[in-house]
Structure 1
Amino acid sequence: MKPNLFNYATSELSQDAFLLWLLEWANPLNSEYDLELYKTASDFLRKIIDVDEEFDIKTVVCKKQQYHIDVLAIVNNEIAVIIEDKINTQEHGNQIARYRQQLETDLGTQYDIKCVYLKTGNECLTNLRKNADSGNFKIFMRRDLLRILEKSNSDNIILRDFVSRIKFIEECTNQYKSKPYHEWMHNGAAWQGFYSWLEDNLGDNLEWRYVSNPNGGFWGCYWYWKWCKAFNFGIYLQIEQNRICFKADSKPNMDCIKKCREKIFSLASGKNLKIENIRFHKGNFVTICFVDTSYLFSNDIFEEKEILAKISILTKIIDSIAD
């Protein structure tokens, strides 16, 4: 495989440097060195500040870690662009809101401040979209970046290496579509891709994240919460990579858990659905029983309609319990 700088420069600081470098290429004076890279950089800048292709970029001044901002670009001495750059981490402590407030204090009303959350790794979008709405920032994900960079006609090796690296991340994420289930089931990136697909198809109430525990942790996905009046607890579905669990919350009573499990077994009867027992552990959240995740993948392959149909069987069981 051809050596790639970004296989070694994998930190967010390295990605910050690439983005600052790319934005600097949007300066018109740099078009004489590489016209195609200048066009690509200009397209990227226009896209993140939400202006059309007729917008005239006259000057771009890039600043690294000013006010602790990952990437700050001053465009035409009138627009201040804040980019919060992430690979695998997430925003915390209202970073973008704090950066915006700092710039508003120091720069006054002279600048139109644009805030962007740029992510080249994977992340659940449910809460991110809510935060973007409340925090007034734009979400710019890996696919958005690829759409711009892949069509570049520049042969610049730094650009080509970066594109190759994030295409590799995209390919790893999409392995759940192309590889048999047993080949990707231990691949965290593929689970992130699969959960993102579920999020797109099952709605904004679905969330996923990494769950750490003493046994090593797992990528978990949880959704379809319903209140069960008869048992006095909420019930929902949670995928823990190798199993799909029926979960109870609200510190459930163990006798009620057993009765609920019996009802799940009864409802699953005749549905070609193998429900398995599990030893109960008291706590705020209790696994009632589970189905092996391979249930979703007949013949070991990803098939959209079949997966959604089988998930519907599981959600209907919860509906019946909650009624």
Structure 2
Amino acid sequence: MIDERVVENNIFNFATNELSQDAFICWCLNWINMPVRDDNESGRQFGARFLSRLLHEAYDVSKVNQVYIFRQLLNIDVLVLVPELQVALIIEDKTSSQEHGNQINRYKYLLSKTFESNQYNELDIYQHLSDDKKEQQQKRDETACWGAVNSIRWALRDEPGELDLSKYTIHTVYLKTDWFNDDDWKTVRELEKDHKTNTYVDGPEFLSLLLSYHEWNNPILMSFVDYLSSKIRATISKILQLPNGDFCRLYLISQITKHH
């Protein structure tokens, strides 16, 4: 049933799941791939700024002209390869849920195996399985890695020089378009142990990043900004309406102060 209270006909009021959000993230980054033209300049700058933030500002992305974007490869929400930087970026994208089932470590391990790299080979992602199930899962994962590397090599077939994926540095981004809860911050604390290759972005920061390009006035960007603004306001409103409202207000303020 359509909510008649929706004043603006905003597609993101309906495209609210993580796959839709994945698509928006891909759209943001794909501006880097657009031809160098005056009418693409703002979009290309926006895409580069977004990529820089996701990479923890650790690289000069100003001369990056090509990124390769994959969705659901090895079940990774969004995988971005940047040949000019020899970087692979895993984006774990959440709307309101949190990381579960050791997802991030699993993606790091499988991508490391796919790249024949030793960056994350020491991770034990099978420790919770019995010997029989471990063997079965390892066989499934080997097949998945074989398929993934073939997909990557085909996508990058026109890149100059020999493709040596083992030289790529694997980075991880935990992005959630809502306030982080305690489980999210537990994930963040694990990521912060290796902050050079890990980044996290919550809803308010993502909104702030998008708003920094409001003068571009791109209709898709502004539609997502309107949607995300409403979502964050709704979350704050729910917190403030909980029992013991004064305590909830103090808690909200403490979380903002603590994490921003």
Q: TM-score range with shorter-chain normalisation?
A: 0.5 to 0.7
Residue of structure 1 in register with 2:25 after alignment:
19
Contact 2:179 2:204 in 1 (8 A): no
Instruction: Within 5 Å, give how 1:252-271 maps onto structure 2.
Output: none
C-alpha distance after superposition, 1:223-254 (max 9, x if no partner): xxxxxxxxxxxxxxxxxxxxxxxxxxxxxxxx
C-alpha distance after superposition, 1:34-93 (max 9, x if no partner): 321221111010111023684321311111111100001111351111000000111011
- Residue 115 (structure 1) aligned to one of 172, 190, 193: 172
**1:5 lines up with 2:61 in the alignment:** no
Residue of structure 2 in register with 1:155 after alignment:
217
Structure 1 residue identity aligned to 2:107: Y
Structure 2 residue identity aligned to 1:71: V
Report the count of equivalent residues: 195
Contact 2:34 2:40 in 1 (8 A): no
Q: 1:92 to 1:52 in 2, by over 3 A?
A: closer
**1:85 lines up with 2:93 in the alignment:** yes
Q: Secondary structure at the match of 1:167?
A: helix
Contact 1:120 1:141 in 2 (8 A): yes
**1:60 lines up with 2:67 in the alignment:** yes
Q: Secondary structure at the match of 2:216?
A: coil
Residue of structure 2 in register with 1:106 after alignment:
114
* Greater gyration radius: 1
Instruction: Within 5 Å, give how 1:252-291 maps onto structure 2.
Output: none
Contact 1:174 1:193 in 2 (8 A): no
CA separation in 1, counterparts of 2:95 and 2:77?
A: 12
**1:146 lines up with 2:154 in the alignment:** no
Residue of structure 2 in register with 1:198 after alignment:
254
Contact 1:176 1:193 in 2 (8 A): no
Q: 1:54 to 1:140 in 2, by over 3 A?
A: same
- Residue 129 (structure 1) aligned to one of 188, 207, 223: 188
CA separation in 1, counterparts of 2:16 and 2:100?
A: 21
Q: 1:97 to 1:165 in 2, by over 3 A?
A: same
CA separation in 2, counterparts of 1:21 and 1:149?
A: 13
Identify, as 1 or 2, the structure richer in strand. 1
Contact 1:80 1:111 in 2 (8 A): yes
CA separation in 2, counterparts of 1:87 and 1:117?
A: 11
CA separation in 2, counterparts of 1:67 and 1:49?
A: 21
Q: CA deviation at 1:196?
A: 3.9
C-alpha distance after superposition, 1:101-154 (max 9, x if no partner): 111111132211110000002222542332323576321111221221102122
CA separation in 2, counterparts of 1:49 and 1:192?
A: 34
CA RMSD of aligned residues (A): 2.9
Q: Secondary structure at the match of 1:118?
A: strand
- Residue 228 (structure 2) aligned to one of 159, 162, 166: 166
Structure 1 runs not aligned, ≥5 long: 205-323
Instruction: Within 5 Å, give how 1:272-311 maps onto structure 2.
Output: none
Q: CA deviation at 1:15?
A: 0.2
CA separation in 1, counterparts of 2:175 and 2:248?
A: 17
Contact 1:34 1:154 in 2 (8 A): no
Residue of structure 2 in register with 1:73 after alignment:
80
Q: Secondary structure at the match of 1:122?
A: coil
CA separation in 1, counterparts of 2:56 and 2:188?
A: 17
CA separation in 1, counterparts of 2:37 and 2:28?
A: 12
TM-score (normalizing by structure 2): 0.66
C-alpha distance after superposition, 1:195-242 (max 9, x if no partner): 4433356x79xxxxxxxxxxxxxxxxxxxxxxxxxxxxxxxxxxxxxx
Identify, as 1 or 2, the structure richer in helix. 2
CA separation in 1, counterparts of 2:28 and 2:36?
A: 11
CA separation in 1, counterparts of 2:36 and 2:17?
A: 27
Structure 1 vs Structure 2: percent identity of aligned residues?
29
Q: Secondary structure at the match of 1:103?
A: helix
Structure 2 runs not aligned, ≥5 long: 1-6, 117-165
